[in-house]
């Protein structure tokens, strides 16, 4: 069974409907079939269809109009909604950089006031903390990841040094939305040591907030990139109608 088939039906249907929209099977301004018809097409309940549609409304692909139906809001998200959601593993592969996990550790920590606010929990409530330094001969990035305490990350070298998202998918943990913020920052003394950089070396900081299909944040990561080796890349393509 593939990881995709392990996902809840409404997530699978959401993904299929999104693909149809992005490939212009349903065009901007057009009505999609009514819920009862979609339920027959996908052989699921109307409740499942409604859940899939609700996610696409949140992602600004569809728009519900009372007394009229559901229409395609746009075939591609607005520029402001684009985020780079590649895992660090895929980022390095796409940039052609030699890439290994140089160090990794996982432990349970108490939430700081900031993390408590991010996750909507109490200060000192437990979170799983995964710290990793990745690169080749020189460190390229350092990631500081926090996960809800019910998400267990084994202290296993193969898992700690592999793709976090791939591991989570084997546990039926999937993400529905990411919010990301990128900024240039001055490295702290600790980051200088971790990334093996001089004081004048520029670094990028990326904050990622990852949500499940219920819009609940389950991961927060701060990643710091060595500016000598890394550049932020993204590619956006639109099709003409």
Residue 81 pLDDT greater than 70, yes or no: no
Q: Which of 14-18, 31-35, 60-64, 171-175 has the weakest average pLDDT? A: 171-175
pLDDT, tens digit (0-9, with 9 covering 90-100), for 216-230: 999 999 999 987 776
Domain locations along the chain: 3-78, 82-226
Q: Sign (positive/negative) of CA torsion 137, 87, 117, 204?
A: positive
Which CATH code is given to the segment(s) 3-78? Answer: 1.10.10.10
Residue 127 pLDDT greater than 80, yes or no: yes
Residue 192 pLDDT greater than 70, yes or no: yes
Mean predicted confidence (pLDDT) in 148-160:
91
Class for the domain spanning 82-226: alpha beta
pTM of the model: 0.63
221: Cβ contacts below 8 Å, ≥ 6 apart: 143, 144, 145, 146, 206, 207, 208, 210
> What does pLDDT average to over the chain?
83
Instruction: Extract the tokens encoding 221.
Output: 């990561």
Residue of 33, 36, 43 lying closest to 13 (CA atoms): 43
Count each helix (H run) and each strand (E run) in the chain, helices first: 9, 8
Region label for 86, one of left (φ > 0), alpha (ψ between -120 and 50) or beta (otherwise): beta
């Amino acid at each position: 069974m593939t990881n995709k088939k392990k996902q809840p039906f409404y997530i699978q249907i959401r993904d299929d409907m999104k693909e149809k929209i992005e490939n212009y099977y349903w065009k901007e301004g057009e009505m999609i079939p009514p819920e009862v018809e979609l339920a027959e097409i996908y052989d699921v309940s109307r409740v499942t269809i409604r859940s899939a549609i609700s996610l696409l409304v949140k992602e600004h692909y569809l728009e519900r109009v009372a007394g009229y139906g559901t229409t395609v809001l746009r075939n591609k998200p607005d520029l402001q909604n684009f985020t780079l959601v590649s895992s660090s593993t895929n980022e390095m592969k796409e940039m052609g950089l030699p890439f290994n996990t140089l160090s990794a550790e996982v432990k349970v920590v108490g939430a700081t006031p900031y993390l408590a606010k991010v996750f909507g929990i109490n200060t000192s409530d437990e979170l799983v903390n995964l710290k990793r330094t990745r690169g080749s001969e020189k460190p390229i990035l350092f990631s500081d990841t926090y996960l809800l305490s019910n998400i267990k990350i084994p202290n296993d070298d193969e898992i700690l040094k592999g793709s976090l998202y791939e591991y989570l998918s084997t546990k039926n943990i999937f993400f529905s939305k990411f919010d990301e913020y990128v900024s240039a920052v001055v490295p702290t003394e600790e980051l200088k040591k971790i990334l093996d950089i001089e004081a004048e070396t520029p670094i990028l900081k990326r904050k990622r907030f990852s949500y499940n299909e219920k819009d609940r944040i389950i991961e927060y990561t701060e990643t710091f990139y060595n500016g000598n080796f890394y550049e932020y890349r993204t590619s956006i393509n639109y099709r003409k109608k």
